[in-house]
Amino acid sequence: MTEVLSDPSYYLVRTTPDLVEGGIIGVGWSEFRFDQFADAEEAIQAIIDDWGSVRRWGNQIRRFYAIRAGDIVVAPLPYAVAIGTATVGLLFDATAVAVDRANQRRVTFPRDAEGRVITVPRTSFSEAFQRSLRVQGMTVNDLEEFADEIQMALDGLASGADYTWQNQVLAQMSKQQENFKENLLANIQSGQTNLRTGGVGLEELVRELLEAEGYKARVLSKRQFGSYADADVQASRADRCASVKLLVQVKHHQGFSDDHGIHQLEEIRRAHGDEYDDHAHVFVTSASVSGELRKTAENAGVTIIAGPELADWITDNISKLTPQTKLALGIYEVPTVIANEANV
């Protein structure tokens, strides 16, 4: 029986749809068995001993350990979220090491009459909540500020609110979206688009994506930096509470990207620190990256947006892209009717 807490905590855990359907949330750091450490601090120290640093991962690991039986977990999915209640204990699944989701917990998600997890459309929530779902690099996050709307959605599911048809439509939309992202990324990687050649087109696309998210951005001259230091896009965004400045290195690659782009950004810090030390560094590549490269980037303070994440970024901002950019990417939009599975 799932425990009910009078004061549950609320967490975002970014995992995979297949695990969610199995009543599991799984996260990374799969080289380390979280279930064999006494607590989060012992696990963090083991990672530091092996990797040299945990940087911003530390608090995410602490949050994953902090989840209690009865706490509420939100798992983002395409178009929707699954909301469930955590049960006790940490698990380790060696078969999930390859996808870096081996450290796991069980979560009880509401299900429909056919046993499928019932999801809630992202558009059911506030704009601020929807933005929090899109934050890159945050696998486990605190959602306490959105507790009221999360609990309201969960209570609606528990009261028997009829999400069956809506859930079926969302599931089919999700499949279509995943196919769309796979095809989009394959076309970008292989050059089967009308983006400008030589990597310039991808740089312009990244600039446009940053502007869609409220940044002022420009593509930099290839002579902006000396030596092998390089960044392709500079961006900034400010409001009354904070200011963010970015230097972005963009690579139009197939297969896997190596660490050259990260070292180019590191060289900016070394050679031009006084001028750009207030800029965060981002490495965007159309290719995949290895787990080792992600560790290298984390230790260098560089955020990575690799192939599938780039496809997600484009998909999230399709409505804000110019018609010319959408045509260059081969994206066209037509109304689609989802068939009723019972009649298929």
Residues 122 and 208 in one domain: no
Q: What are phi and psi of 230, to 5 degrees?
A: -165, 145
- Higher confidence at residue 57 or residue 188? 188
Q: How big is the chain, counted in residues?
A: 344
Residue type, 222: K
Torsion (CA) 311, 314, 317, 320 in degrees, nearest 10: -160
**Do residues 252 and 284 touch, judged by C-beta distance below 8 A?**
no
Q: How far is residue 40 from each of residues 47, 55, 59, 332, measured CA to CA in Å?
A: 11, 14, 9, 47
pTM beyond 0.75, yes or no: no
Burial class (CB in 10 A: 0-12, 13-18, 19+), 155: exposed
Please check whether residues 151 and 204 belong to one and the same domain.
no
Return d(Cα 282, Cα 168) in angstroms, integer: 37
pLDDT higher than 50, residue 342 = no
Quickly state the pLDDT bin for 344 (edges 50, 70, 90): very low
CA-nearest of 117, 88, 115 to 104 is: 88
Percent of the chain at pLDDT > 70 equals 91
Strand, helix or coil for residue 244: strand
Q: What is the mean pLDDT of residues 121-145?
A: 85
Q: How confident is the model at residue 14 (pLDDT cuts 50, 70, 90)?
A: very high
Q: How many domains does the chain have?
A: 2
Please indicate whether residue 22 or residue 158 has the higher confidence score (pLDDT).
22
Asked if 32 and 110 sit in the same domain, the reply is: yes
Average pLDDT for 198-215:
92
Domain final position from 113, 140, 161: 161
Q: Are residues 226 and 105 in the same domain?
A: no
Nearest to 284 by CA among 328, 231, 244, 327: 231
CA 315 – CA 328 distance, rounded (Å): 15
User: Residue 236 is part of which domain span?
Assistant: 200-328
- Shared domain for 29 and 155, answered yes or no, is yes
Alpha helices in 257-329 (DSSP H): 260-276, 291-300, 307-316, 323-328
Overall average pLDDT of the 267-273 stretch: 87
CATH number at residue 295: 3.40.1350.10
* Residue 177 belongs to some domain of the structure: no
- Helix, strand or coil for residue 213? coil
Q: What average pLDDT is seen over the chain?
A: 87
Both 205 and 267 in one domain: the answer is yes
The answer to whether residue 180 is domain-embedded is no
Question: What pLDDT, on a 0 to 100 scale, did the predictor assign at position 206?
Answer: 96
* Across 65-70, average pLDDT: 94
Per-residue pLDDT, 120 = 86
Per-residue pLDDT band at 162 (split at 50, 70, 90): low
